[in-house]
Structures are given as C-alpha cells and as structure tokens.
Amino acid sequence: MKRKVKRKKTDTESEGQNACIIRIGGGCNQKCSYCSYDRSKELSLEDIYDIVVNSTERFVMLECQGEPLISPMFVDIIHTIRRAGAVRIGLVTNGRMLAYERVALLLAELKLDIVLITINHILPEVHDKVTGVKGSFEQTVKGLKNFIAVRHKGSTFVYIRFVPIKENRGFLLSILDFAIKSGVNGVVIDSLQNASNYDAGAELRDSSKKDLIISRRRLEEKFKAGLSQSFSDAGSLPIRFHEEEKAISMVLRTGCKNACNFCTTRIVQEERNVGWPLDKVDFFFKDISFAGQKGFETLRIVAIEPLEHPDIIKLVSFASRSGFSQIEVWTSARALKDRKFTGDIKKAGLTSVDVPLMGGSATIHDEVTGSRGAFEETIIGLENARSSGLNRKIHFILTVQNLNDMDGMIETGKVLGIHPPSSVLIPSASSQNLRQVKSFLPSYTSVVRELKKLSKEKAEILVEMGLGNNIPPCIFYKEKAFFNLVQQKSKIRINGYLKEGNLSQPGAKMKVRVKCVFSGRCKMSDACPGIHAMYGQIYGMGEFLPFE
C-alpha cells in the first residue's frame, strides 16, 4: 500500500532540513483553538511503515493531529519508523504526559533527535484557555522540566514551540525569556500556515510579522551561547542583527536590470511566473529606529538590486537620521551612472557600495549578467561613486563563464583602484533543474586548477577572501595547492547538514550546504564548508578525498 506523504520544510535543528511529516492521529488530551484534528483518522503501524519506506526523506517528524505521547502504540511507532529506515526522528508534543517521570524517562531512553514542546503563553490562565484544559500549563511546564533533566544532552535537542495567535499577541518576548531560563536548545516560532486550523487564525499572519522580527532580534541577542532559533515563516524576517559588530543586514526586495544566470530570485520568479517583489520601505522603519537607539552603527542593504527601489533614498535617509553612520548597499552600481542620483543618495547618508564584478571585460561580465551594456554602466557607476566620495568595494562571483578570467577581474579591480576584492564566492544552486545549475556552477577541481595558473600572490588573495570557505579542503590537498593556507587562514565552518539529494523547494533553502557522502569517516569533516546543494548530482563524488 502506498500512501501520499505530506512533506514540508522544517527549521528545527538544521535550517533547510527536509522532513517526512507524519500525523498519527488518534486521541488528544487538549482542544487547542488553532488545531482541528480528526480523531477517526488514526494511522496503523503498517501505515506508518509504508509512509517512511516510500518517502525519500530519512528525517521523520511526528507532528500535530493528536498527541503522540498518549498513543498506546507510541514506543512501537518509534521502533517501526527506525525499522523502516529513518535516520533521525523528531516529535511535537504538548508535553503534559512528560509530567509523569516514567514517561519522561521512557522518551529519553528512545533517544529521539528533536523534541518540540508547545507552550502558548506564559500566563497559566491564557495557556489553559487556548488548550481548553484547566491545569494544562502547570503540567506542560513540569513535563518540560522533567524531560530537560533526563534527556541525553549530546543527542536530543529540546525546543519550545510557539504558535502566534490572537490570545498571545504581544507576549513573544516573554516566551523567549521563559525559554532562556528553562535551558532549552532554542525556540521554534511556527507560522500559522503550519498550524492545522487555518481558519482559526489566518488573519494573524500579517499582523504578527513585526512581533516576529522583534523576537528574532531578541533571540539573536540572547541565544548566542550555543543556543539556536528557528522560524517557519522566514519570509517575514528580513532583518538580521549582528550584535558583535553593531551591524544589521536587511533584505530589500525589488527589481533588477541584470539577469544573472545564477540569480535565485530571478529563477524562482520565472518558475512561478510572477513578477519581481517590491517591499515597502516603511515596513523596516520600526526596527531600524530600534537598532539605532541601541547603538547599532552599520546598516547593510542587500539582496536583488536595492538602488533600483523607488524609495531607496527615503530608506537611506531614515537610517541616517536614526543614527547609522555606515550605510552600505550591495549593488550592480548601474543606477550610479546617473550622477545626480549618486549625489542625492550620498547626501541622504549612503557611505559605501559593494559591487559584483563578473568579468574583467564587457564580453564576459555581460554574458554572466545576461545584459548587454551592464559592464560599461557598472564601471561608470563605480567612477561616479569614487568622485562623489563613496567607499567602494568589489566582490567576485565565479561561474563556468568567468572562471578562466580571474586574473582579468583582479586587474580590472586594480585599474579601478579597488583591490583586493571584499569577497570571492561560488554561486549556490537556485533551481532543481540540473542542466540550469550546471550551466553556471563550476566544479571545485576546475576552480582550484584555474587558481594554480595565477601568480602565487593573486591566488592566495582569492583563497583568503573566500574560496577557502567555498571549497572542501580535500580538493586543495588533492590538487597540491594552497592546502596549508586553507588550514591556517580560511574561516572554514559547517554551514548546514543535509543528506545528499534534491531539495524540494527552490530559493533560499537551496543555499544551505550539504555534507558529502564521505563526511562520516573524514577526519576533517568538522573543518569542511560542505558542498553546494545538488553538486553531487551534477559532478558526482569522485573529486572528494576523505582524510582518514
């Protein structure tokens, strides 16, 4: 028997992790206002086995539609899921059964990877009203404490799950404070699109966005000591706060004259047959003002092409008045060919631009950007930026088309008086179309071999400015090139953990790195940046040499 499997993205422990969602149904010991489950739809062990076996995902999440811990088959369900081939298992629970120490011990012994415990409010009477059960808050909190005390700390991650609804609007920060004191690994703020009863709270999604952004800031301020955070509705969270350097980065969605072959937004918009998104700048004002009051000094405006937004000067001016002394825009600089516009935005408060250079000549740059005349306008824009007093940076994005022109890009930067580049990147997969991704994503070996053709000084600059963080160290070792430099100076880090294979959603999630098939026996696995999503499907795994 084959059963249709419902899958969704889950950002519990590793952002971008695919999961097979199983809602076992059956009974529940609560009647939450935002949930609408059907008691009559209870899966058998055979059903569950079939779902896992027929799923392409090896991470299984038991979620909603009943309370799994009251099922008399719960232990058998876990064993069945493992027998069917699951590598990781997660659980969403209201936590009340964990108030019984024997149940908490039993769950700990099962050694699940992730446990999410739902708390709707820090006020007992409001939580109980939402769940429809008096005394449920007290039981849930006791269950959380019991499980925290007995869970296996290296292997089981515990999160508080919070669903924003009408009854708890405005209390997100209190939930975060509660979470910090409770000793959990993090918080999952579950958007209402993932709640079962869409009709009960769908109108709250837009009105909750500002609260969610405030919560993200609070999480990033408070959860720096090894704790993590997660949001199911990442599209509602366009501002990231970097406490250490007193900087914030914001994504401003708008159109773009370029049509770069690797551009995530362009590909997604075309696949969905929709126009370019356009954010309202007023949406960001509250958070920019808050950050300015807290002493943040640097604002980076990133994403598509911020300088083409009709209200970019208004946004920059507001940020400057809010106390930001450094305002940087990532831009193609084509808009800066207009001297008046360049002067106006400099006067508004812009201090710096960081510009991608796709080639050392118009032929190559225009081929990558998909726009004739782009190189000339970019160069004019950079010259206007110089004459107006703006600080200028350039970064390189290496593709199949410009890989053999790295020397040309460096020399062009020198002619412009901008050297070294601020960063050197290899673009991520932006689509599930393998042919499309292969058209721009170069193999790691080909990049290192082109590096070896450069002078030692130029090659080392490119490695230090980013390629050491983009390419697994075993490639440098195998090619006998720059391996010691990669070890010494590159800020190598793991960007994510996914199984090798297709991702089910294009866009930002495609940018999460994956581990190669040798990571389990490679001694340098923890020092590897991983590989691009879909890389193995395009180039295979023959390049990689595990350190044993």
Structure tokens at 297: 């000094």
At residue 500, does pLDDT exceed 90? no
Average pLDDT in the 286-313 region?
A: 88
CA atoms of 258 and 436, how far apart (whole Å): 17
Answer with the residue of higher pLDDT: 283 or 138: 138
| pLDDT at residue number 18 | 56
Q: Give the tens place of pLDDT for each residue, 329-385.
A: 999 999 999 999 999 999 999 999 999 999 999 999 999 999 999 999 999 999 999
Phi/psi at 269 (nearest 5 deg)? -60, -40
Any idea which residue has 């412009």 for tokens?
A: 416
Structure tokens at 339: 């001297």
Any idea which residue has 């709270």 for tokens?
A: 201
Q: Are 37 and 66 in contact (CB under 8 A)?
A: yes
Q: Give the tens place of pLDDT for each residue, 48-83.
A: 988 888 877 778 888 766 788 988 889 999 999 988
Single-letter amino acid, residue 475: I
Q: What is the DSSP track for 148-172? A: HHHS-TTT-EEEEEE---GGGTT-H
Q: What angle do CA 163, 169, 173 make, to 5 degrees?
A: 80
Single out the residue of 512, 482, 489 nearest to residue 499, CA to CA.
Answer: 512
Q: Cα–Cα distances in Å, from 179 out to 60, 120, 141, 149, 223? A: 25, 12, 11, 15, 10
Peptide bond before residue 420 is cis, with ω within 30 degrees of 0: yes
Portion of the chain with pLDDT greater than 70, in percent:
77
pLDDT, mean over the chain: 79
Q: Are 496 and 15 in contact (CB under 8 A)?
A: yes
Strands 423-425 and 391-397 turn out to be parallel
Q: Give the tens place of pLDDT for each residue, 438-477.
A: 999 999 999 999 999 999 999 999 999 989 888 999 999 9
Q: Are 451 and 463 in contact (CB under 8 A)?
A: yes
- The C-alpha R_g of the chain, in whole angstroms, comes to 25
Peptide bond before residue 472 is cis, with ω within 30 degrees of 0: no
Phi/psi at 355 (nearest 5 deg)? -115, 130
CA atoms of 238 and 252, how far apart (whole Å): 8
Q: Are 519 and 548 in contact (CB under 8 A)?
A: no
| pLDDT at residue number 496 | 32
Highest mean pLDDT among 117-126, 161-170, 322-331: 322-331
Neighbours of 40 (CB within 10 A): 7
Average pLDDT in the 259-267 region?
A: 78
Answer with the residue of higher pLDDT: 504 or 425: 425
| pLDDT at residue number 157 | 84
Strands 239-242 and 247-251 turn out to be antiparallel
> HSE of 190 in the Cβ direction (CA atoms, 13 Å)?
24
Q: Are 332 and 308 in contact (CB under 8 A)?
A: no
At residue 517, does pLDDT exceed 90? no
| 3-class DSSP state of 497 | coil
| pLDDT at residue number 194 | 37
Q: How confident is the model at residue 511 (pLDDT cuts 50, 70, 90)?
A: low
Single-letter amino acid, residue 156: T
Q: What is the DSSP track for 256-280? A: -S---TT-HHHHHHHHHT-PPP---
| 3-class DSSP state of 46 | helix
CA atoms of 31 and 111, how far apart (whole Å): 28
Average pLDDT in the 484-501 region?
A: 49
Through-space distance between the first and last CA atoms of the chain, rounded to whole angstroms: 43
Single-letter amino acid, residue 268: V
Helix axes 45-54, 74-83, angle to 10 degrees: 30
Answer with the residue of higher pLDDT: 510 or 209: 510
26 torsion bin: left (phi>0), alpha (psi -120 to 50), beta (else): left
Answer with the residue of higher pLDDT: 57 or 435: 435
331 torsion bin: left (phi>0), alpha (psi -120 to 50), beta (else): beta
| pLDDT at residue number 272 | 53
CATH number of 7-236: 3.20.20.70
Question: 239-425: same fold as 7-236?
Answer: yes
Average pLDDT in the 259-279 region?
A: 70
Torsion of CA 462, 463, 464, 465, to 10 degrees: 40
DSSP-derived secondary structure letter, 10: -
Q: Give the tens place of pLDDT for each residue, 183-237.
A: 887 777 775 433 333 333 223 333 333 444 444 444 445 444 333 333 333 233 3
At residue 122, does pLDDT exceed 50? yes
Domain range list for the chain: 7-236, 239-425
Q: Which helix (H) or strand (E) holds 247?
A: strand 247-251
Map 85-149 to HEC letters: CCCEEEEEECCHHHHCHHHHHHHHHHCCCEEEEECCCCCHHHHHHHHCCCCHHHHHHHHHHHHHH
Single out the residue of 296, 307, 186 nearest to residue 240, CA to CA.
Answer: 296
Structure tokens at 160: 């508080």
Average pLDDT in the 400-413 region?
A: 97
Q: Give the tens place of pLDDT for each residue, 163-181.
A: 877 788 777 778 877 887 8
At residue 527, does pLDDT exceed 90? no
Which residues make Cβ contacts (< 8 Å) with residue 397, sequence separation at least 6? Answer: 260, 262, 356, 358, 368, 425, 426, 427
Please state the pTM of the whole predicted model: 0.60
Q: Cα–Cα distances in Å, from 84 out to 44, 48, 51, 88, 115? A: 14, 9, 9, 12, 20
CATH number of 239-425: 3.20.20.70
CA atoms of 350 and 339, how far apart (whole Å): 14
Answer with the residue of higher pLDDT: 252 or 301: 301
Q: Are 181 and 155 in contact (CB under 8 A)?
A: no
